């Protein structure tokens, strides 16, 4: 059984500061990432996931949703892999 890892769009947003929720280097981020873009990357990577209508604790007023991913490795590894693929969608 795999572990669940939660991804929020703000993790990949190059316009945000780290303290605002960005989890990748600015060079790996993109401007205004959204759930459909993250979903497309996960689908291409053939990784099981589900979408949820939740918000990041820092951005409680913005309901941009989140993705719950079935992933055995570290969350940081998953974030970097997704970010690299998102970069090709820019």
Which ranges in the chain belong to alpha helices (H)? 35-44, 75-87
Q: Which CATH number fits domain 4-87: 3.30.56.30, 3.30.565.10, 1.10.3720.10, 3.30.2350.10?
A: 3.30.56.30
Q: How far is CA 76 from the centre of its chain?
A: 11
CA distance 33 to 22: 11
pLDDT greater than 70 at residue 1: no
User: What are the backbone dihedrals phi and psi of residue 36, each rounded to the nearest 5 degrees, phi first?
Assistant: -60, -35
- Residue 80 CB coordination number (10 Å): 15
Q: Is residue 83 predicted with pLDDT exceeding 60?
A: yes
Structure tokens at 36: 């459909």
Residue 89, pLDDT above cutoff 70: no
Contact 31, 15 (CB under 8 A): yes
Identify whether the C-beta of residue 21 lies closer than 8 Å to the C-beta of residue 8: yes
Query: pLDDT (tens digit, 9 = 90+) per residue, 4-56?
Result: 999 999 999 999 999 988 999 988 999 989 999 999 999 999 999 999 988 87
pLDDT value of residue 13: 93
Predicted pLDDT at 90: 54
Question: Rounded mean pLDDT of 77-84?
Answer: 95
Backbone angles phi, psi at 66, to 5 degrees: -150, 165
Q: What is the pTM of this model?
A: 0.89
Q: Report pLDDT for 58.
A: 77
């Amino acid at each position: 059984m795999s572990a669940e890892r939660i991804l929020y769009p703000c993790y990949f947003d190059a316009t945000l500061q780290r303290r605002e929720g960005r989890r990748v280097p600015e060079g790996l981020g993109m401007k205004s990432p959204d759930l459909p873009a993250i979903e497309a990357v996960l689908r291409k990577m053939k990784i099981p996931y589900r979408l949820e209508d939740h918000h990041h604790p820092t951005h409680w007023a913005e309901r941009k949703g989140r993705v719950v991913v079935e992933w055995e490795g570290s969350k940081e590894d998953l974030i970097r892999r997704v970010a690299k693929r998102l970069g090709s969608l820019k």
